[in-house]
Amino acid sequence: MTSMTVVPLSPACAAEIKGVDLTKPLSDAQVAAIKHAWGKHLVLVFRGQTLTQDDQLRFAAYFGELGTRKKAPEKLRHRAEGIQQDHEKVLLVTNIKVDGEPIGAFGDGEFWFHIDSGYSAKPYNYTFLHALELPSTGGNTLFSNMYKVYEAVPPALKAKLKGKRALHIHEYNRSRQASHSGDLSGTPHAYHPVFITHPETRRKSLFVDRLMTVAIEGVDADESAAMLRELYDIGERREFLYEHVWQLGDFLMWDNRCTIHARTDFPKGERRLLRRCTVEGAALYEEPRLPALENFIARLRGVWAAHSDDETRMKAAKPLLEAFVLDDSVKANSRAWPSTEGRKNLRLYVDPDYEFVINAVVRVPGRTGSVHDHADAWVLYGIVDGAESLERYDRIDDASRSGYAEIRLASVTTGTQGKVDLVAPYAIHAEQGGPARSAAVILRSRPLGEGTVLQNSYDAKAKTVTQRYGPEQIPYELRF
């Protein structure tokens, strides 16, 4: 088996997967590797594939129950139901007509940003497109990373929209806003939270699109329109976009819960044909983040935007972490956090732009911590509940013998809620639990854990140093 490689295609999202032949059944390990890359990059591109319909459906089915093509509303049926669409799991994305009749759907030209089947109660989780015929130019597909977009929504607008739902309706005017007359009886439609938590990644995402989202529930029409326009404009900012220029044989797959997509114009009269299938989805929920965490993140992003070196950023972040761990709502929330015994961290947040990470740890009474460093990462460690002590060590040998290290305890400081320590890169230390359960929040300047950077782990008695990855990362969302 050739090994799979993942090549990012833009700073916004999307990666090319090389070394996988989709005409063949895949191993569990290959599927797992693709899922992992998908969670990270949102849009995956495979080039040079020649897939039959069965190949495409077999591959898509690795990711869930295949989606059934949605029936177009009665009044649009004549131009939306292609005459060559004979498989209920397949849709032909094409402008081709036979005897004046479209063989598939979505016709010619530009297609505004949208979510596939956002107008249904359970929008498709995933869409897969395979390029079979292409125009000489144009017809590119644009994708926006809605996790990044969510983080870029101004805090005041986020606060106004928290807990609100938006109305999505089915319409086919590909480059015009859906008309929204008020009578929706003949039009498929659904309400979804404006902000959703992605059920697998647990990350927050903006879930509206310019084509089919028409109103925010319970907000007067003008204000709703203004807020939606602001959201659409952020969602379509160039920095959040990947533009896919198609080649024959391309196979694309995307996640509809954290991306929106659009199509650029292409010459009328030139044929374009892509084969589409989908995977069914489920109802979407907002599950709001704890406001204190939301606020902490917004302030951290301000610090990261204002400074470019990690030391300055982490020093500026120290008072922000102090305020966060002193917050009563955080302390109350921490009482429900699961234990992180066995070298685990709860992963509360990873910033999509700056990659700083917010972790939490929960120590059972009397738990002893290992002596270690964090390699090149800067770390702030703040106690939320209980008491812990921080031991600092000096390295006293000259580090010339591999695997050998002599260290000496330099200081021990004990702290309770609100105490925050800054741990510099390669600083040798250990956190020790107290007589009662304790909880702490950790801010890291970069991701640590499996597959990131190796950290040193020391044994003072045996005088050894070994390298290993940091704690296992367990996604955990702080909610109300």
Which residues contact ligand OGA by CB under 6 A? 93, 106, 111, 116, 127, 129, 141, 261, 263, 274, 276
CA gap 433, 367 in Å, rounded: 5
The answer to whether 284 and 123 are in contact (CB under 8 A) is yes
The answer to whether 192 and 168 are in contact (CB under 8 A) is yes
278 sits in which H/E element: strand 273-279
Contact of residue 146 among Mn ion, ligand OGA, none (CB under 5-8 Å per partner type): none
Contact of residue 444 among ligand OGA, Mn ion, none (CB under 5-8 Å per partner type): none
Tell me the residue type at 136.
S
Terminal alpha carbon distance of the chain: 47
CA gap 382, 392 in Å, rounded: 16
The least CB distance from residue 211 to ligand OGA, in Å, is 10
The answer to whether 280 and 124 are in contact (CB under 8 A) is yes
- How far from the centroid of its chain's Cα atoms is residue 131's Cα? 26
Complex with Mn ion: residue 116 or 421, whichever CB lies closer: 116
The answer to whether 163 and 194 are in contact (CB under 8 A) is no
Complex with ligand OGA: residue 232 or 304, whichever CB lies closer: 232
Contact of residue 49 among Mn ion, ligand OGA, none (CB under 5-8 Å per partner type): none
Complex with ligand OGA: residue 127 or 213, whichever CB lies closer: 127
User: In the complex, which residue's CB is closest to Mn ion?
Assistant: 116
Contact of residue 111 among ligand OGA, Mn ion, none (CB under 5-8 Å per partner type): ligand OGA
Question: Which residues are within 8 A (CB) of 433 and not within 5 positions of it... i.e. 6 or more apart?
Answer: 363, 364, 365, 366, 367, 368, 369, 386, 388
CA gap 337, 240 in Å, rounded: 33
The least CB distance from residue 429 to ligand OGA, in Å, is 52
Phi, psi of 67 (to 5 degrees): -80, 140
Contact of residue 69 among ligand OGA, Mn ion, none (CB under 5-8 Å per partner type): none
- How far from the centroid of its chain's Cα atoms is residue 343's Cα? 24
Contact of residue 93 among ligand OGA, Mn ion, none (CB under 5-8 Å per partner type): ligand OGA
CA gap 156, 295 in Å, rounded: 11
Q: Which of 55, 116, 385, 431 binds Mn ion (CB under 5 A)?
A: 116
The least CB distance from residue 252 to ligand OGA, in Å, is 9
Complex with ligand OGA: residue 64 or 155, whichever CB lies closer: 64
The least CB distance from residue 265 to ligand OGA, in Å, is 11
Complex with ligand OGA: residue 134 or 348, whichever CB lies closer: 134
Tell me the residue type at 20.
V
The answer to whether 357 and 380 are in contact (CB under 8 A) is no
The answer to whether 362 and 437 are in contact (CB under 8 A) is yes
Binding window for Mn ion (CB under 5 A); candidates: 109-117, 130-138, 382-390, 403-411 = 109-117
Query: Considering the rule CB under 5 A, would residue 250 count as an interface residue with Mn ion?
Result: no
Complex with ligand OGA: residue 111 or 349, whichever CB lies closer: 111
Complex with Mn ion: residue 117 or 334, whichever CB lies closer: 117
Complex with ligand OGA: residue 5 or 137, whichever CB lies closer: 137
Contact of residue 276 among Mn ion, ligand OGA, none (CB under 5-8 Å per partner type): ligand OGA
Complex with ligand OGA: residue 129 or 371, whichever CB lies closer: 129
Tell me the residue type at 374.
H
Radius of gyration of the chain (CA): 26
Contact of residue 126 among Mn ion, ligand OGA, none (CB under 5-8 Å per partner type): none
Q: Please name which of 301, 286, 297 lies closest in space to residue 441, comparing C-alpha atoms.
A: 297
Complex with Mn ion: residue 112 or 324, whichever CB lies closer: 112
Contact of residue 141 among Mn ion, ligand OGA, none (CB under 5-8 Å per partner type): ligand OGA
User: CA 413 → CA 368, 417, 433, 456, distances in Å?
Assistant: 15, 13, 12, 22
The least CB distance from residue 195 to ligand OGA, in Å, is 23
Contact of residue 129 among Mn ion, ligand OGA, none (CB under 5-8 Å per partner type): ligand OGA
Contact footprint for Mn ion (CB under 5 A): 116
